[in-house]
Amino acid sequence: MSYDAQIPRKISSLSTERKSHTPEVSLEIEELPFQPDPLQQQVLDSPAKQLLLCCSRQWGKTAIIALKALHFAINNPKARILIASASLRQASVLLDHIVDYTTVPTRRGDKLLFPNGSRITALPQAPKTTRGLTAHVLIIDEAAFVDDDLFESLTPVLASTNGYLWVLSTAGDQRGFFYQIYSNQSPDWHIVKATADDCPRITKEYLARERVLRGEQRYRREYFCEFQHGRIQFTSREVVEACFDMSVKEERIHIDYGT
């Protein structure tokens, strides 16, 4: 089964499109739970195999990826979608969003079961328990706070399906896979950055209060996508990079010891 051909271009099709093979599912979703912002619409429309969202707190990362996952589950019968986060409780938040949107799936603990055979499962944060799983979509929420070990143990679940990897978080420390992917800016990834200024629901007045409450560094991490130096990091990545002048070429000196 090829999922490439079926990934939706517009989430708005959720409210209008009635797929003949899943009529009972489409019919029950009357309208979108909210009007996506332009950047959120970009996320919904993205067909990228690897998608990373680095956004302000409360921008709507989980809400929009929940909508994208719901759309995928509905439009791809027997889809397997896995969600991991810093804890099982946090991974389950995405399931809560979906349950708020629609009564279509049945909730069984940490799983949502769809009438078309699709399944969305929230995973515990235990790398050893992820072997044997296969997925068409792997979602990592709060990725800046997820251990590299878990990330590395999970990505092979997409190997046999050539599936989709959606990684989302607020900025964290300057380390770990989320920071690496975000700072490498590889063309293999569709990277979406959104600060609090890109969120119409976060007011200037609220931000001013948060700035005082949290202090400048934490405020900028939480709302403006600025990664912080880790506690055991002596200096920032920018300072280290500035120490390397790439224009200087390596020179090898030959010493003849006369042996």
Ligand X SMILES: Nc1ncnc2c1ncn2[C@@H]1O[C@H](COP(=O)(O)OP(=O)(O)OP(=O)(O)O)[C@@H](O)[C@H]1O
Binding stretches for ligand X (CB under 6 A): 34-37, 40, 55, 57-63, 170
What's the order of all strands across the beta sheet hosting 137-140? 106-108, 111-113, 119-122, 80-84, 137-140, 164-169, 50-55, 190-194
221 within 8 A of 211, measured Cβ to Cβ: no
The minimum distance between CB 187 and ligand X, in angstroms, equals: 25
Closest CB to ligand X among 40 and 118?
Answer: 40
Closest CB to ligand X among 93 and 133?
Answer: 93
Closest CB to ligand X among 72 and 223?
Answer: 223
197 within 8 A of 55, measured Cβ to Cβ: no
Specify burial of residue 259 (Cβ count, 10 A radius: 0-12, 13-18, 19+). Answer: exposed
Stretch that binds Mg ion, among 39-47, 57-65, 73-81, 209-217 (CB under 5 A): 57-65
State the binding partner of 105 from ligand X, Mg ion, none, CB within 5 to 8 A by kind.
none
* Tally of CB atoms within 10 A around 103: 10
The minimum distance between CB 93 and ligand X, in angstroms, equals: 7
Spatial neighbors of 71 by CB under 8 A, at least 6 apart, are 8, 11, 13, 14, 44
State the binding partner of 58 from Mg ion, ligand X, none, CB within 5 to 8 A by kind.
ligand X
The minimum distance between CB 5 and ligand X, in angstroms, equals: 28
Closest CB to ligand X among 36 and 105?
Answer: 36
Sole residue written with tokens 């690897």? 50
Stretch that binds Mg ion, among 53-61, 76-84, 170-178, 248-256 (CB under 5 A): 53-61
Member of 62, 75, 125, 130 binding Mg ion (CB under 5 A): 62
Structure tokens that stand for 32 in this block: 């979108």
The minimum distance between CB 33 and ligand X, in angstroms, equals: 7
* Tally of CB atoms within 10 A around 57: 14
Closest CB to Mg ion among 55 and 150?
Answer: 55
Cα–Cα distance for residue pair 81/83, rounded to 1 Å: 7
Comparing every residue's Cβ against Mg ion, the nearest one is 62
Residues forming the site for Mg ion (CB under 5 A): 61-62
